[in-house]
Homo-oligomer: A and B are copies of this chain.
Amino acid sequence: MAKPEEANEYLARRAEEVNGWLEQLLPAQSTPPETLHGAMRYSMMAGGKRLRPALVLASGEALGAAAEDLMPAACAVEMIHTYSLIHDDLPAMDNDDLRRGRPTCHKAFGEAIAILAGDALMTLAFNVLATSLSCGAERQIRVMREVARAAGTVDGLIGGQVADIENEGRDVTAGALDYIHGSKTGALIRGSVLIGGVIAGAGELELMKLGEYGGRIGLAFQIADDILDVTASSEQLGKTAGKDQAAKKATYPAVHGMEASRRRAALLVEEAVEIVSGLDARTEVLGAIAGFIIARSS
């Protein structure tokens, strides 16, 4: 398996498995507080690509871990991702009405519940990591550490979001742009690849290579996202297209032009595939996912 369309099939299959686990891990909608649990499920079960969970699975399985031992961590990462989408969509932030083809959480449930649903998904992610991993206490703690770091402020998800907001409408340097995207999107993608390796018991050298692979595809993913924001329709994306330009966001096409952006993404993916193929592991799936990241249309 090496072609992007095969990655497409792989991702669709894993997404279904992940959704089955999420159904179990999320509190039942009938458990109080019902509104909040309903909002958490609404945003979680809106049919995302489940790229991050797939990376946890692909990375862990490449190094010999079993899917069932990877699934709780895969789901936890998707909870972190979804909490960040819910909060980023809020009126005080990106003020977005559409996400994964449906009204955003605050449009459907109001701002207070959306803020709390985001908080609750982050809390649940750490709860799942603290209760449902079977890889031994030492690895478990390492997983939690990597997730907390990837989600955090220094080179992490939140730091990237702050830089993104603060640079709206400004001319940014190529370096600042790499920082924003590397943190906002790259860190959690890299973290997903890493924790699969940690659960599988990878050594430090293997983790280093997984991290380099993950950092590159994370950045490539965001470049592809920036390109799609310009070239695809809202219907294709399931979220408002053309938003970046309208909000004068710092994007790759805006800073480097469309062609240079495509070349940069392709180069990052090429490097990522080469790095990961240097591992003594079954890394075909990781290679295919890297290819998918720039070939996707939504």
Contact = CB atoms under 8 A, between A and B. Distances in A.
A130 B137 CA distance: 11
A122 B35 CA distance: 22
B138 A151 contact: no
A116 to B, nearest CB: 6
A159 interface: yes
Interface in A92-125: 92-93, 110-113, 115-116, 118-120, 122-124
Interface stretch (A6-14, A26-34, A61-69, A261-269): A26-34
A126 B144 contact: yes
A126 B124 contact: no
Interface stretch (A160-168, A204-212, A241-249): A160-168
A162 B127 contact: no
Number of copies: 2
Nearest to A127: B148
A152 interface: yes
Contacts of A123: 122, 148, 151-153, 156, 158
Provide the main secondary structure of the chain A interface: helix
A170 B57 CA distance: 47
Contacts of A131: 145, 148
A31 B158 contact: no
A116 B156 CA distance: 12
Interface residues of A, number: 50
A156 B124 CA distance: 11
B145 A113 contact: no
A140 B126 CA distance: 13
A143 to B, nearest CB: 9
Contacts of A35: 162, 166
Nearest to A129: B144
A99 B81 CA distance: 30
Contact of A115 (B93, B120, B122, B154): B93
Contacts of A33: 153, 159, 162-163, 166
A3 interface: no
12 contacts: A27-B154, A35-B162, A36-B158, A112-B165, A115-B115, A116-B162, A118-B119, A123-B151, A123-B156, A127-B148, A127-B149, A127-B152
**Closest 8 pairs between A and B when the two form their complex, measured CB to CB:** A137-B137, A92-B111, A127-B148, A33-B162, A130-B144, A130-B145, A92-B112, A36-B162
